[in-house]
C-alpha cells in the first residue's frame, strides 16, 4: 500500500471566513447602539463638567479678587445675553461695575469663555436656569438655582439628565436625574 503524504493546510476555508464575518457583524450590530448612547452621555457629562468648572472658577476668583464674579449665558463671548439660553455658551467675568449680570467696560473683565454647545449634543432647558450666577468676595452665591443638561435623545425614565445646583453658601452640587 502506498502512503500518501499529508500536507499541512494553509489559510482558511470560505466557510470559516463567512462564519467569522457573521459573528463579527452580530457583535457590531449589538455594540453600535450602546456606543452612540455612551457617546451622547459623555458629551452631556463634558458640558456638566464645563459648567462646574466655570462656577468654581467664578467662586475662587471672587474670593481672590475680593469682588463679585459672574457666570452668564453668552452668545458672543464678550457680553451676557440677558436670557437663559446657555446652549450658545457662557462667560466668567469680574463684575466690578455693580450692575449684576451685565458686562460693563472698562470696570468688568472677561476671565474665561466657554463655547457653543449645539442642541444635537445636549439641551440646556431655559426653564430651569437663571440668566446669570454671581459669587461675592466671601465666596457665597448672590443668586441660587440650577442648570440642567439633557443629552440628545434622552428618553423618559433614563438616568441621564444632569443637574448642577448652586446653593446660597456658594456650594456647587452635581447630580444625575431621570429624563423627563
Residue 55 has pLDDT above 90, yes or no: yes
Is 119 inside any structural domain? Answer: yes
Is 4 inside any structural domain? Answer: no
- Give per-residue pLDDT as tens, 23-48: 988 887 776 667 777 777 788 888 88
| pLDDT for the residue 62 | 93
Is 5 inside any structural domain? Answer: no
Q: How far is CA 18 from the centre of its chain?
A: 42
In three-state form (DSSP H/G/I as H, E/B as E, the rest C), the secondary structure along the chain is CCCCCCCCCCCCCHHHHHHHHHHHHHHHHHHHHHHHHHHHHHHHHHHHHHHHHHHHHHHHHHHHHCCCEEEEECCCCCCCCCCCCCCCCEEEEECCCCCCCCCCCCCCEEEEEECCCCCCCEECCHHHCCCEEEECCCCCECCCEEEEEEECCCCCCCCCEEEEEECCCCCEEEEEECCC
Is 10 inside any structural domain? Answer: no
Cell 449645539 belongs to which residue?
A: 118
Is 150 inside any structural domain? Answer: yes
Task: Give the pLDDT band of residue 92 (cuts 50, 70, 90).
Answer: very high
Is 45 inside any structural domain? Answer: yes
Q: What's the domain count of the chain?
A: 1
| pLDDT for the residue 7 | 65
User: What is the pLDDT averaged over residues 117-128?
Assistant: 72
Residue 81 has pLDDT above 70, yes or no: yes
Q: What is the CATH number of the domain that holds 99?
A: 3.55.40.10
- Give per-residue pLDDT as tens, 130-175: 888 999 999 999 988 888 888 777 777 777 788 899 988 889 999 8
| pLDDT for the residue 54 | 94
Q: Is pTM beyond 0.85 here?
A: no
Is 28 inside any structural domain? Answer: yes
Task: Return d(Cα 126, Cα 100) in angstroms, integer.
Answer: 19
| pLDDT for the residue 131 | 85
Is 130 inside any structural domain? Answer: yes
Cβ within 8 Å of residue 84, ≥6 positions away = 73, 126, 127, 129, 130, 131
Which residue segment(s) compose the domain that 77 sits in?
Answer: 15-177
Amino acid at each position: 500500500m502506498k502512503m500518501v503524504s499529508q500536507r499541512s493546510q494553509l489559510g482558511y476555508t470560505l466557510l470559516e471566513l463567512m462564519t467569522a464575518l457573521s459573528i463579527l457583524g452580530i457583535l457590531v450590530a449589538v455594540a453600535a447602539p450602546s456606543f452612540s448612547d455612551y457617546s451622547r452621555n459623555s458629551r452631556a457629562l463634558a458640558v456638566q463638567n464645563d459648567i462646574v468648572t466655570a462656577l468654581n472658577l467664578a467662586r475662587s476668583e471672587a474670593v481672590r479678587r475680593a469682588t463679585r464674579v459672574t457666570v452668564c449665558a453668552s452668545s458672543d463671548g464678550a457680553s451676557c445675553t440677558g436670557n437663559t439660553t446657555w446652549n450658545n455658551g457662557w462667560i466668567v467675568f469680574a463684575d466690578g461695575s455693580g450692575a449684576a449680570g451685565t458686562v460693563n467696560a472698562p470696570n468688568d473683565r472677561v476671565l474665561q469663555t466657554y463655547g457653543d454647545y449645539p442642541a444635537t449634543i445636549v439641551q440646556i432647558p431655559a426653564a430651569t436656569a437663571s440668566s446669570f450666577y454671581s459669587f461675592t468676595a466671601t465666596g457665597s452665591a448672590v443668586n441660587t438655582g440650577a442648570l440642567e443638561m439633557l443629552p440628545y435623545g434622552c428618553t423618559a425614565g433614563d438616568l441621564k439628565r444632569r443637574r448642577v445646583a448652586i446653593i446660597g453658601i456658594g456650594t456647587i452640587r452635581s447630580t444625575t436625574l431621570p429624563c423627563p
